[in-house]
Chain A
Amino acid sequence: MADMHFELVTPEKLVRSEDAFMVVVPGTEGDFSVLAGHAPLMSVVRDGEIAIYSSPTTVTSRIKVQGGFAEVNDKGLTILAEHVEEIR
């Protein structure tokens, strides 16, 4: 399955702009994961962790987000967050 484009932006900078296999997002109404070809969606993101997968089994990075908002459109997934913190 093809990768989808993923962007994570804060008001201060563009944190991530890369291709990912899957991204798990903590939505206000439950976690959801976005893969390529996901239906358009807009969701408020609760404070928590997003996980970026490069393949079905490997997590490349986990990022803590605060004050987030996610949008999925035909270009991919975009997360707007007020604060991000990378977890090593």
Chain B
Amino acid sequence: MANLKALKGRIGSVKSTQKITKAMKMVAAAKLRRAQDAAEAGRPYAEQLAGVMSRLASGVTVGPESPRLLAGTGKDDVQLIVVATSERGLAGAFNSNIVRAAVRRARELQAQGKTLKFYLVGKKGRAVINRVFPGQTIHQVDQTHIKTVSFDDALEVARDIMQRFEAGEFDVAHLFYAKFQSALVQIPTEKQLIPVEVPAGHGTHTETSEDGKHTRTVSNDDHKGPVAAVEYEPDEATILEALLPRNIAVLLFRAFQENAASEQGSRMTAMDNATRNAGEMINKLTIQYNRSRQAAITTELIEIIAGAEAL
């Protein structure tokens, strides 16, 4: 039987651990709500932009003269992998899931003979990526000082990535993050950043007048009335060019928001499990403690009785 004092000490230490995990769980729950609200608030913009993009892109044919962000460089030799992880650990398998998905894809690309470059956002992905693909990280973004990601933060990252694209550092960029589904489920997700993938239009087609001056977008599933021709100021191609960088920033921003929600959700679940495990452990240790205490008392009694009888 373990000695009583040591057992008491262990129970105490597990109890204080449980207090910490419980507090972390509660904090994560509160932060999760805030992160979810933020993600919710950003939805109208993203939806509007996606709608506009698909309407615009359906009228513009991708050719060599279309913006490079949309058409790409025409090659896919150098692949940039943007991995968005969190700044803090203790969030269950959150970070390792994202990194694993990124590494798996990177291996696939490597097997195809592509050159890989990594762009890391958040510090939790650094250790693994730098070990598995040493010397291939071109930039690491530090977000430790950021409490809640703002659009400016995403914009900054987007500008940096686009600058590197313009400088010809890479041809294709992929983004890895965890999509938030619920506090229990977060799905590691891959999105193509550059060239921009334009969401498919919802059954619309564009009609162009004979002289090619006027275009209009006609919805196939909406025959309720005549659809007026849309005027473009300055013109479709210019608008598209102005919106493409914004679209990338919004993609990143959404990813960061999803990531923030996923991180808190994952941490909440992990800490809930930890709290429960600590509770179980305390129960086990308490039983053990009581048993050994009883055993000690019994032994003492036996000794006293035996001593009294001997007299």
Contact = CB atoms under 8 A, between A and B. Distances in A.
A42 B237 CA distance: 12
Main secondary structure of the interface of A (DSSP, over half): strand
A80 to B, nearest CB: 6
Given A69-B239, A69-B242, A71-B52, A11 B45 contact: yes
B28 interface: no
Contacts of A39: 228-229, 231
- B151, B233, B249, most chain A CB atoms within 10 A: B233
Interface string A1-39: 000000101111110000000000001110000000001
A42 B52 contact: yes
B93 to A, nearest CB: 29
Q: Which one of B45, B46, B232, B243 has the highest number of Cβ atoms from chain A below 10 Å of its Cβ?
A: B45
Interface stretch (B7-15, B36-44, B187-195, B264-272): B36-44
Nearest to B46: A11
A43 interface: yes
A56 B38 CA distance: 36
Interface residues of A, number: 24
A43 B42 CA distance: 22
A42 B56 contact: yes
Q: Give the size category of B's interface with A.
A: 20 to 34
B151 A82 contact: yes
A41 B151 contact: no
A63 to B, nearest CB: 15
Nearest to B49: A80
A42 B231 CA distance: 6
Contacts of A80: 45, 48-49, 52
Contacts of A54: none
Contacts of B154: 11
B182 interface: no
Interface in B223-246: 228-234, 238-239, 242-243, 246
B151 A43 contact: no
A42 B58 CA distance: 14
A10 B151 contact: yes
A51 interface: no
Nearest to B41: A13
Given A67-B246, A80-B45, A44 B229 contact: no
Contacts of B228: 39-40, 74
Interface string B241-264: 011001001100100000000000
Interface of A: 7, 9-14, 27-29, 39-44, 67, 69, 71, 73-74, 78, 80, 82
14 contacts: A11-B151, A11-B154, A12-B38, A12-B42, A12-B45, A13-B42, A14-B44, A41-B230, A42-B230, A69-B52, A71-B48, A80-B52, A82-B246, A82-B249
Given A11-B42, A14-B44, A43-B233, 8 more contacts: A9-B45, A11-B253, A12-B45, A40-B229, A42-B56, A44-B234, A80-B48, A80-B52
The 8 closest A-B pairs by CB, nearest first: A43-B233, A40-B230, A13-B41, A11-B151, A9-B45, A41-B231, A11-B45, A9-B44
